């Protein structure tokens, strides 16, 4: 039995009806603003500690806006939420360990191997297989070769990639409980406790510097509370296969943000990769049931 749905406010209603593609771009922008802040903090705080505070900050923000988040959970749902929170927390930690050694855009692209694997496992038609092929080709082009001299960074990003796949599969089940972002917030709270041995030992300088503490928590608000919170609404509306394929927009968005904010102008090869990913997202087949459900959701009756 599912927990009782949380009443929706205006923001929740908008997130429940907006186009998934637009939500993905908004989520990506929030996540990469948070990632940019995190990279700046790496000079003063260990990456795993920044990630740990990111988890704490996100959990606090999400639970603060979730009414009655502690009520109505079944034992099975709590186990799922805990697994989701741990996978997401470890994904954050390994991703930050990776981007401390690998360029952010490159890391995001390589990490996308996980979502591609999920999409491949859930593809059910020739058209979706073609869309997936375009997305894989685009990610391969954006990813390039290199990293032969950065084995540690590569291992970290591949672990984060596997955890990203777990985030999609388990997170989709948590989202179907339909408790707004309460499941995400509770999961991250549990994850912050379970990963404390990884992040807490180097946290001393943060606790005595209010500005550092505020920045670390702000990273969590942008990257997890906003970014992952949007994902939870999107996961309720579309199949895992489509969600996994739409995640191809993340490396594309990362490249565009790098160009606009950091003057990291993409090469012709980069633009080719972006184009291939966008073709894959456009070609994908939307199931008939999605169109029916969308009609029901937008019908004022």
Q: What does the pLDDT look like over 226-278, one tens digit per residue?
A: 877 777 677 666 666 666 666 667 777 777 776 776 676 777 877 787 788 77
Q: How confident is the model at residue 114 (pLDDT cuts 50, 70, 90)?
A: confident
Residue 245: predicted pLDDT = 66
Q: What is the pLDDT of residues 193-233, one digit of tens each?
A: 999 999 999 999 999 999 999 999 999 888 878 877 777 67
Residue 70, burial from CB neighbour count under 10 angstroms (0-12, 13-18, 19+): exposed
- Of 31-45, 140-154, 215-229, minimum mean pLDDT range: 140-154
Query: Given this model, what pLDDT does residue 240 score?
Result: 62
Higher pLDDT, 116 or 185: 185
The token duo for 221 is 């608000």
Q: Which residue has the higher pLDDT, 295 or 229?
A: 229
Q: Is the pLDDT of residue 284 over 90?
A: no
Task: Enter the pTM of the model.
Answer: 0.76
Q: Please tell me which residue, 152 or 132, carries the higher pLDDT value.
A: 152
Ranges 75-84, 161-170, 270-279: which has the least confidence:
270-279
Structural domain spans, the chain: 19-294
Confidence bin at 180 (pLDDT 50/70/90):
low
Give the pLDDT mean for 155-179: 78
Q: Does pLDDT of 16 surpass 80? A: no
Q: What is the pLDDT of residue 15?
A: 56
| Side-chain half-sphere CA neighbours of 158 within 13 A | 7
By C-alpha distance, which of 84, 98, 111 is closest to 28? 111
Least confident stretch, 33-37, 44-48, 177-181, 188-192: 177-181
Across the chain, mean pLDDT equals 76
Least confident stretch, 4-13, 39-48, 181-190, 267-276: 4-13
Res. 38: pLDDT tops 70 = yes
Q: What pLDDT is attached to residue 87?
A: 92
The pLDDT score that the predictor gives to residue 14 is 58
């Amino acid at each position: 039995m599912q927990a009782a749905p949380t009443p929706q406010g205006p923001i929740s209603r908008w997130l429940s009806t907006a186009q998934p593609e637009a939500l993905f771009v908004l989520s990506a922008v929030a996540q990469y603003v948070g990632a940019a802040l995190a990279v700046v903090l790496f000079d003063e705080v260990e990456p795993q500690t920044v990630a740990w505070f990111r988890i704490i900050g996100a959990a606090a923000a999400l639970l603060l806006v979730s009414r009655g988040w502690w009520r109505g959970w079944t034992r099975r749902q709590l186990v799922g939420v805990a697994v989701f929170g741990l996978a997401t927390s470890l994904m954050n930690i390994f991703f930050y360990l990776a981007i401390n050694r690998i360029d952010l855009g490159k890391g995001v692209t390589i990490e996308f191997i996980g979502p591609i694997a999920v999409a491949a496992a859930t593809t059910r038609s020739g058209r979706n297989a073609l869309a997936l092929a375009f997305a894989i080709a685009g990610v391969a082009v954006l990813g390039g070769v290199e990293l032969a001299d950065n084995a540690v960074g590569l291992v970290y990003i591949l672990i984060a990639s596997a955890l990203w796949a777990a985030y999609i599969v388990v997170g989709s089940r948590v989202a179907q409980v339909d408790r707004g972002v309460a499941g995400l917030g509770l999961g991250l709270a549990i994850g912050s406790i379970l990963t404390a041995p990884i992040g807490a030992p180097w946290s001393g300088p943060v606790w005595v510097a209010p500005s550092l503490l505020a920045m670390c928590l702000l990273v969590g608000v942008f990257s997890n509370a906003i970014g992952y919170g949007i994902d939870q609404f999107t996961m309720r509306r579309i199949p895992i296969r489509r969600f996994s394929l739409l995640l191809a927009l993340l490396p594309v968005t990362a490249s565009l943000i790098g160009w606009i904010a950091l003057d990291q102008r993409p090469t012709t090869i980069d633009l080719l990769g972006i184009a291939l990913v966008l073709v894959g997202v456009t070609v994908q087949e939307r199931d008939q049931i999605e169109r029916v459900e969308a009609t029901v959701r937008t019908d004022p009756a």
